[in-house]
Structure 1
Amino acid sequence: MKKLLTLITLFSLSIVLGQEAILGETPGIVRDGVIVHPEYEGPEPTKPKATEFYEPKVPKVTPGTNGSPPSDAIVLFDGTSFDGWVSSKDGTSPAPWRLNDDGSMTVADRTGDIQTKQKFGDMQLHIEWRSPLPVQRDNQNRGNSGIFISGLYEIQVLDQNDNPTYVNGQVGSIYKQGPPLAMASVPTGEWNTYDIVYHAPEFNAKGEKIKSGTVTVIHNGVLIQDHTEIKGTTPYIGWPKNPAHGKGPLKLQDHGDDSRVSYRNIWVREL
């Protein structure tokens, strides 16, 4: 019995010593849902460091303030020019919207959509928009515009204040698909903020969708789309379609009804 107890003690000690030997500032791996040292093969750890890792280092990003872009952002519009934008009519002509003295841009009546020269896949997008005063018209013809991610999937922009409409077309909706969780607009004429996280759909070699895209939208600090599935394109008439695509431009809509929506402070972080 004494020999057996000695063997058990030595075995237990070897486990502990073995565990101690592998602890250190090295990359971790996931085993059974827990991050552990890559050489750890023992039973459940009895030391905290067995589930700690130090590589790869997390990149440092300096945050912006009051909506200004963080240090790793791509600034798409800073109020000084349309250098990064073109007309969506041909993808090459200069953007025909109005550049304002306050650092914003405004839809020029019936000139068509505009889009970025640069294309994006997964991204974090910050954009600010404002409906015009005085209030004009009602329903879908009041302060209507849209933010098209990948040039295909519309997040609705609309003056929703005291202005009922169909819920899957109201402000903050994935147009004709996903109503928002809440209506969080500021008063008409003030600046709204959208912070959007987009993950693109995936397609196989045959061009068939194998994974839907998703979008999360925070409107003025309120979560209104929570990792919502994008079922496909967002047409005014008909069902969503799923054409295979890669990265695409960010497109802003001219709704064609003298909506005169303004935008400012647009930036993207690629994910």
Structure 2
Amino acid sequence: MKSRKISRYFGIVVLFSSTALMAQHTVIDTPPEVSPMPMKPEMTEIWEPEVKTVTPGKQQGEAPSDAIILFDGKNMGQWVSQRDNSKAAAWKIVNNDYMEVVPDAGGIQTKMQFGDCQLHMEWSAPDVVVDGGQWRGNSGVFFQNRYELQVLDSYNNRTYSNGQAGSIYKDHPPLVNAMKTPLEWNSYDVVYTAPRFKANGLIDAPARITVFHNGVLVQNNATINGLTLYSGLHNYPSSHGEDVISLQEHGCKTQFRNIWIRRL
């Protein structure tokens, strides 16, 4: 009996010793924790490519150095007739300052085509208020010849909200009515992002637009839901690329000046 107890005791000791050695071995083989390298300020600095220098206009509304001047008050060489692109724009230049819509002459459009862009323009309805509603200084600026930002004298002139000044026509009303009096000029400063299309021609990302009317935000990166039609729901046509900027003739003597654009 005694020899069996000794044998059993010896076995327990050997087993305990083996387990302890294995545990010891495991601890020895485990690598110590490595602390991540601390970030240095220069590790998050971007140096290339160097940011291009653009000289801003000296006064509010003046074109920066990289802008394309579409109308400076002196000539309409950047524009053609929308009815016949081979003919000059039929609107009238007044006082070497602004161009005036000639009723029944048709709209005008740029010779150049654009997609993503920043646009500045100033506009006014005639000083004398003759009509109201949609007949009071009605025009519009169309991006890619399809998507209209409404031009209208909306000073004390109630009409449907998605058809007043600053609206994306029949799509989004402006956030506020920032219209000046008929004796003053208005300004639009626009950032426009053209729609993107899939390889099969279907819409992938709709057009978006931000508009400041007289320095007041009236469209905040708004989604344009398709062609801004007078009648019917707005949907996107098949795929298209860059296209002209056009100004609408709506039978009203609207006036425009200081128009410039930057490609984005």
TM exceeds 0.5?
A: yes
1:241/1:93 Cα in 2 relative to 1: closer, same or farther (>3 Å)?
A: farther
Equivalent position of 1:185 in the other structure: 179
Q: Which amino acid in the other structure matches residue 255 of structure 2? A: S
In the alignment, structure 1 residue 62 sits paired with structure 2 residue 49 = no
Q: Residue 129 of structure 1: CA displacement? A: 0.3
In the alignment, structure 1 residue 160 sits paired with structure 2 residue 160 = no
C-alpha distance in 1 between matches for 2:209 and 2:193 = 6
Give 1:71's match in structure 2, choosing from 62, 65, 70: 65
Q: Which amino acid in the other structure matches residue 260 of structure 1? A: K
Give 1:251's match in structure 2, choosing from 231, 238, 246: 246
Equivalent position of 2:260 in the other structure: 267
5+ residue gaps, structure 1, are: 13-41
Give 1:111's match in structure 2, choosing from 105, 108, 122: 105
Question: Contact between 2:74 and 2:96, CA under 8 Å: does it hold in 1?
Answer: no
Q: Which amino acid in the other structure matches residue 189 of structure 2? A: D
5+ residue gaps, structure 2, are: 1-27
1:227-257 CA distance string (max 9 Å, x none):
000101111111113122100111001112x
Instruction: Give the 4+ runs in structure 1 shifted more than 6 A.
Output: none
C-alpha distance in 1 between matches for 2:175 and 2:96 = 32
TM-score of the pair, normalised by structure 1:
0.82
C-alpha distance in 2 between matches for 1:53 and 1:81 = 43
Between the aligned residues of both structures, percent identity stands at: 48
C-alpha distance in 2 between matches for 1:74 and 1:135 = 33
Q: Which amino acid in the other structure matches residue 240 of structure 2? A: H
In the alignment, structure 1 residue 230 sits paired with structure 2 residue 221 = no
Equivalent position of 2:15 in the other structure: none
1:49-101 CA distance string (max 9 Å, x none):
22112111100000012311100001111111111101111222110000111
Q: Which amino acid in the other structure matches residue 138 of structure 2? A: N
Q: Residue 103 of structure 1: CA displacement? A: 1.4
1:13-71 CA distance string (max 9 Å, x none):
xxxxxxxxxxxxxxxxxxxxxxxxxxxxx55x432222112111100000012311100
Secondary structure at the counterpart of residue 140 of structure 1:
helix
Secondary structure at the counterpart of residue 126 of structure 1:
strand
Question: Contact between 2:178 and 2:216, CA under 8 Å: does it hold in 1?
Answer: yes
Q: Which amino acid in the other structure matches residue 185 of structure 2? A: W
Give 1:138's match in structure 2, choosing from 132, 135, 138: 132
C-alpha distance in 2 between matches for 1:152 and 1:90 = 17
C-alpha distance in 2 between matches for 1:133 and 1:83 = 27
C-alpha distance in 2 between matches for 1:155 and 1:92 = 26
1:164-197 CA distance string (max 9 Å, x none):
0110111100000001001101111311000000
C-alpha distance in 1 between matches for 2:32 and 2:74 = 75
Equivalent position of 2:45 in the other structure: 52
Question: Contact between 2:166 and 2:177, CA under 8 Å: does it hold in 1?
Answer: yes
C-alpha distance in 2 between matches for 1:232 and 1:92 = 29
Equivalent position of 2:143 in the other structure: 149
Q: CA RMSD in A?
A: 1.6
Question: Contact between 2:102 and 2:253, CA under 8 Å: does it hold in 1?
Answer: yes
Equivalent position of 1:29 in the other structure: none
Secondary structure at the counterpart of residue 62 of structure 1:
coil
Secondary structure at the counterpart of residue 75 of structure 2:
coil
TM-score of the pair, normalised by structure 2:
0.85
